[in-house]
Amino acid sequence: MVDKNEAIKDYSSKNIKVLEGLEGVRHRPAMYIGSTSKNGLHHLVYEIVDNSVDEAMAGYCDKIEVTINKDGSITVIDNGRGIPTDPHPVYKKSAMEIAITKLHAGGKFDKGSYAVSGGLHGVGISVVNALSKKMKVTVKRNGQIYQQEYKIGIPQYEVKVVGKIEKDDTGTEVTFFPDDTIFSTTQFEFSILQTRFREIAFLNKGVKIVLKEEATDKKEIFHYEGGLEEFVKWVNKSKESLHKPIYFTKVEDKVAVEVAVQYNTGYQENVLGFVNTINTVEGGTHVVGFKTALTRAINDYSNKNKMSKDGNLTGDDVREGLTAIISVKVPEPQFEGQTKTKLGNSEVKGIVDSVSMAALQEFFEENPAIARKIVTKALESQKARNAAKKAKELVRRKSAFSVGGLPGKLADCSKRKSEETELFIVEGDSAGGSAKQGRNKEFQAILPLKGKILNVEKANPVKALSSDEIANLITAIGTGVGEQFEPEKLRYSKIIIMTDADVDGAHISTLLLTFFFRFMPKLIENGNVYIAVSPLYRIRKKSIHYVYSDDELKKIIAKLGQNINVQRFKGLGEMNPEQLWETTMNPKSRLLKKVTIEDAVKADETFSKLMGDDVESRRQFIAERAHEANVDI
């Protein structure tokens, strides 16, 4: 670690720049933290932890401790330099108070304080303060302990000295109570924080993050000296890897590039991009630069060693079975979109490309056995792609006999504007029949499937694309798959999975979600995929009630008495068209669950465990999560 005492002299109140006040945060919290739901609540913790991570990236902090307290508050402690406490040159108050009570105030706007920063908006701690009923901040610095408390962003007293310490004992401690008048839930979840902190620890080699939950005595320590090499192995842990991780890192034009690559025997591509530890789920210039270099490096090796007979390999070919993590630290990143999910800096593409190209070429020369394994896998993928092309042509020829080149079983809607239309994917002909009769033909289309579709997690892409049911799905949706995916060709704005409310229905939903996640992930990212919630019971006592869960049934029976008629629906096909419309398809009365990918790393791990070949990890996953499932026996 860097000498903190020297650094403390350089990092003082003059480094705290102020852009504007705190007004408006409580009126429009979603503008600052994304939402006021569970996601926004946990975002408060990330904002505080990001400040500690910035200290770690600058070399002044190596331990961060996060505790979910019994009273519902969160405490974050780090051993960084501590927030500056001396009087601010402009505001004449302690810089600590300015940083915590004014929006866009912090060391991140001062180029000398942090070379790179994750929480770039500089709104972090002040926004948490504004959205907390109570907050207490304690700073250790210059041999003193400073303290200030706040209520909904307002200081309760001037910053005061509450104790003395050794001069080299430094750091910041923040405890906050989220405001229950702002958030729909104020209950923090260990597993959500666990996922993010594991990522941060992998991305910041050597930093130790301790997560504790007082009520359950749960504790987990995230500390990885191997950094990205351990990260890539962790992502691949339920897959069979082909070789040891390829790892390289280099700083060029103040941009630090760090990459780990490991192929597995599967068919899925999993490329994860991070910028200043932020997970850029939509990729960006850093990911494009790496992909370009990888394709070129593998083609160079293949051509030089005369391994390819069918021309150059494509990006899709070389990324089959690839797990790669690209982490860049950029001084002034430009993110596209408010949620910071796509990097826009054009210069980063060239830097990542040149660094990756040189490193991959060097690795392939020094490790010919691994290089040959990787090229051979890509060549097999090329063969499969050519076979898939023939399969797609076959599908096209088959579908040419149906109306307008669409699958014969698809009952299309009359509207042509995709933003106004819906596609219901239903299981079996009997449910399909009810849905076709019950729907609004103007904007609702129905595609019945024959039983369970292929598990694409285990199947070769050629086999998957040759399957009639999958070919019908792809044709009906209209976007194409993989690199050929064209979002503007989407034929329906809502794609709704509508299956029976039983174990078989849940399995079919999972198979369909696996297909969308692996072949059309953009549909999930763009919020086009939904799951219809069909009723479990119909209750009749004078009037008719539809009930969607066993808990709801108990409450209604308790309210209406036991002298009622209860009908249990075993499947959608049992409902007449009017019932299906009224309960599950009518936009005015139905329940829909929107499918989201909260975290690509976690989603990939879940699909690999649930749908892959590793039986033991699947058994363990189901055993751990069984209590969360609503299983009908």
* Residues annotated catalytic, as ranges: 427, 500, 502, 504
Mention every residue, 6+ apart, whose C-beta is less than 8 A from residue 529: 495, 497, 513, 516, 523, 594, 595
Q: How distant is the alpha carbon of residue 378 from its chain centre?
A: 27
Q: Contact 15/84 with Cβ under 8 angstroms?
A: yes
594 membership: H or E segment, kind and range: strand 592-594
5 membership: H or E segment, kind and range: helix 4-10
User: Going along 253-394, which residue ranges are E strands?
Assistant: 255-263, 270-275, 278-279, 322-329, 335-336, 342-343
Q: For the chain, how big is the Rg over CA atoms in Å? A: 28
Q: How far is CA 235 from each of CA 37, 299, 359, 601, 603, rounded to the nearest angstrom?
A: 28, 26, 22, 7, 11
Rounded Cα–Cα distance for residues 63 and 326 (Å): 24
Strand order from edge to edge, sheet including 543-547: 543-547, 537-541, 565-568
Q: Contact 188/41 with Cβ under 8 angstroms?
A: yes
Q: Contact 212/303 with Cβ under 8 angstroms?
A: no
CB count in 10 Å sphere of residue 332: 10
Number of H helices, E strands in the chain: 20, 26
Q: Contact 348/328 with Cβ under 8 angstroms?
A: yes
Q: How far is CA 403 from each of CA 394, 400, 406, 412, 421, rounded to the nearest angstrom?
A: 16, 7, 6, 10, 18
Name the residue among 397, 566, 406 with its Cα closest to residue 491. 406
Joined together, the tokens standing for residue 277 give 């530890």
CA angle 294, 356, 261 (to 5 degrees): 65
Name the residue among 257, 259, 263 with its Cα closest to residue 272. 259
CB count in 10 Å sphere of residue 331: 15
Beta bridge partners of 139: 146, 172
Burial of 61-79, coded b for 16+ CB within 10 Å and e otherwise, reads bbbbbbbbeeeebbbbbbb
Name the residue among 269, 273, 280, 237 with its Cα closest to residue 258. 273
Q: How distant is the alpha carbon of residue 251 from its chain centre?
A: 27
Report DSSP state, residue 583: I
